[in-house]
Structure 1
Amino acid sequence: MIPAVEFGLIYGVMALGVFLTFRILNFADLTVDGSFTTGGATAAVAILAGWNPFLAIGAGFATGFAAGLITGLLHTKGNIDGLLAGILTQIGLWSVNLRIMGSSNVPLLREDTIFTPLRDAGLMGSWASVGIFAAVVAVITAAIVWFLNTDFGLAVRATGDNGPMIRSLGVSTDRTKLITLALSNGLVGAAGAVFAQYQGFADNSMGVGLILIGLASVIMGQAILGQRFLWLSVAAVVVGAVLYRLIIFAALEVGLNPNDMKFITAALVVIALLVPQWRAAIGGAIAGSRANRGRTGDGGGAGAGGAVTPNTAASASSSNDPAQAAGTTDGKVKA
């Protein structure tokens, strides 16, 4: 279970990158599958070349940043649809990653990584390592919340909400898209660099299907915690990533075939997308039912409070005394 939480926290950094494009920028960026591997491949080669493992993570961030920048340029300057731009970059990165690594796999089992001190101290696979991972991810989460509350971050959020409106105010949406796509894939590349060091190798297929995992993390987390506040929306992404890994861990523990994991991931995304709609539909039905009961109660109260009923009218009309029929005594209306 602890390794699943550690995996989830690493994936949480990747999911934060997906969150920036998918939720904030409203941009379906498929570069993620390639930039994750690019970051891992760059870090692995850098470590083999004698780089400090932390600098290798910085190199992974830089190459991921460059990949996102390419997607942004294709979209903003080349006028290519965002979805297609991401696919083109992702396909190109497959060959680029092979060039970086020189093969389809680069082992790091005998190299020092950022996790070597934890392993030497016997902390890997313990709640102490989970606490360290969580603290680092919390700092990254806080940095993203801070960024989105800056003037530029507000412009990015406005670009995703209403691009034409923010352009009418003189803000360059091309600039906000370029920088956000680059930052997003930079985070994904850094996550790939950490992941390669965690598992002890970089592989050209390590990023396949990762966009689905990122979307599952974003959608599941926000379906559970909601999006009422910005900081809650960002934190929900990390929670969703950890929850996703725990669900996969539980599925493997009960004996499900590992080949079914992609199907399970797709099913989780579908459920997470449908749950908010079901919740809204049920809430609307309950509210409508209460409103109908309220109207029925008001109508019954009016009848009991003195409205003329058929029986009363018939009784009054059958009386021979006009004053009594009119509800009066001695020709005067009762007080």
Structure 2
Amino acid sequence: MTNRTHREVRLAARPQGPVTEDLFEIVEVPVPEPGPGQVLVRNTLMGVAAVMRTLMDETSVVPMPSYQLGEPLHGSAIGEVVAAPGTDLKPGDLVEHQLGWREYALLDAGQAHRLDPDLLPDPAGHLSQGPTAWMGVVRGAEVRPGDTVFVTGAAGGVGSLAGQIARLRGATRVIGSTGSQQKADRLIKEFGYDAVVIRGAGPIEEQLRRAAPEGIDALFDNVGGEQLQAAIAVANRGARLAIVGALSSQLSQDGPATTEIDTFSLLARSITLRGVALYDHLDLIPEWNAQFGKGLRDGTLTFPHARLRGIEQAPRALRELTEGRHLGAVIVEL
């Protein structure tokens, strides 16, 4: 195996604005040899996420290690075990781990999570951002039967699942936001949204008031900025607002931005505003996987995603994700 090579994607330069493909380099390196207690995995699928743009900066407020210049990037991946000496894993086992962006990964056995190949009808589903969507709906916004729910960033990997989950939890009206009429039409026709406000089609608050004339009871916020401000303005008394992402700041070409919050409205209407992050709710992942597998099989849930093929497409995948080119998650087949 020492004569074999594989490809990995390294960070060549720090971004000064949007993601561009010249920030990456694809390097051919030897396939590593596993020692005792290590696992060699042939990666078959990897996911990209908006947080990766944040990790390309030298420092960030995200509690994850930033990418290092000249080193391969990292992120969620699925693959098959090639060799795992001295461990309870065996060749052919399907595992998930955090060393994507390369065709082969060498990691300690404790870093590889064995997957049940029968749990989901498509292994790519393990790379969905469903756990974050489930957490934000169930524990963040605490969606209840009869709620009117607003999901910002509804066409992304998280939002496209959050709307479906809100419906499963009994929401009677689900409103989303996105950046184009084409995506808005798909959200309504394919993913169960009742109405969609469109960024750039007029003030968000005005659009939201038309879509939710009786106000909103719960917010699943991926974006922040004007959309969060609009949600607070339209929120009913006792509304639950969950901050799950901050795309308006993460993907801003002008650097991190802050959102002015009307705290008096929160107080006067007893509105709850909370930030929730998956690393504090990892216990929900098995619950989500069971729900996801059931929903995919009985048709109550779908997994919207785009697939690009080949590790050389990974930089393009991240660029197109941050540009909003796709609806749902973006996955690379390796």
TM-score, structure 1 length as denominator? 0.22
**Structure with more relative contact order (C-alpha pairs < 8 Å, separation 6 or more):** 1
TM-score, structure 2 length as denominator? 0.22
More helix by share: 1
- Larger of the two Rg values belongs to structure: 1
More strand by share: 2
